[in-house]
Amino acid sequence: MAEESKFIETAREALEQLKQLTRDFPQLSTKHVTLAIETWNEEMFQKGELVWLEKERKRLERSALESRATDLIEEGQVDDVLEKLIEEFNQEIDFYGLMDLCGREKYVAAMRREAIELKMNSISPEQTADLWNRAGKPSVGGSRWNALAITALLR
């Protein structure tokens, strides 16, 4: 709550400074600025605070989402991470969004772990590429996964 009060307090101070400047130097103020200062009221402060609070809520939510995605992807598979994030945050997130949240390096590491697991289960690089392309998983070196990219990922 202290930050919310500080936001409004700062806005009020800014408005008072603008009022003082337009009184002291009317020739430097435009008609639009003068009109805005004269018509500014408490409702506008409240609307501004609501906008600020919503932006702050979204920033905190994004931060929590990034943190959770990073934690999950360090050990889990990409599909499982997406599923958990969607379940926990009730937001639609795709593979590109996941890569954006946790970073390319962590995404690649998770794909590498998955490729190793598939190889251990006798799934060929060609089959892996086909599976990942059909699932819509973004490749890290080209437009689509292929056997060569999977083989490089396994190194």
Model pLDDT for residues 46-62, shown as the tens digit of each residue: 888 888 889 989 999 99
Segment 114-152, tens digit of pLDDT: 999 999 999 999 999 999 999 999 998 778 999 999 999
Is residue 4 a part of any domain in this protein?
no
Is residue 45 a part of any domain in this protein?
yes
Whole-angstrom distance, CA of residue 141 vs CA of residue 123: 21
Q: Is the pLDDT of residue 1 over 70?
A: no
Number of folded domains that form the chain: 1
**Alpha helices of 40-77 — where are they, by DSSP H?**
42-73
Please give the model's pTM, rounded to 2 decimal places: 0.70
Is residue 20 a part of any domain in this protein?
no
- % of residues, the chain, pLDDT over 70: 97
Is residue 23 a part of any domain in this protein?
no
Q: Could you tell me if 105 and 146 are in contact, meaning their C-beta atoms sit under 8 angstroms apart? A: no
Query: What is the per-residue pLDDT for 59?
Result: 93
Q: How confident is the model at residue 39 (pLDDT cuts 50, 70, 90)?
A: confident
Its domain, for residue 137, covers: 41-154
* Mean pLDDT score across all residues of the chain: 91
Is residue 78 a part of any domain in this protein?
yes
C-alpha distances in Å from residue 100, one per residue of 9, 22, 49, 86: 35, 46, 29, 15
Is residue 34 a part of any domain in this protein?
no
Query: What is the per-residue pLDDT for 49?
Result: 82
Is residue 112 a part of any domain in this protein?
yes
Is residue 35 a part of any domain in this protein?
no
Q: Phi-psi bin for 103: left (phi > 0), alpha (psi -120 to 50), beta?
A: left
- The token pair at 18 is 């603008």
b/e for 81-95, b at 16 or more Cβ within 10 A? bbeebeeeeeeebeb
Segment 87-112, tens digit of pLDDT: 999 998 999 999 999 999 999 999 99
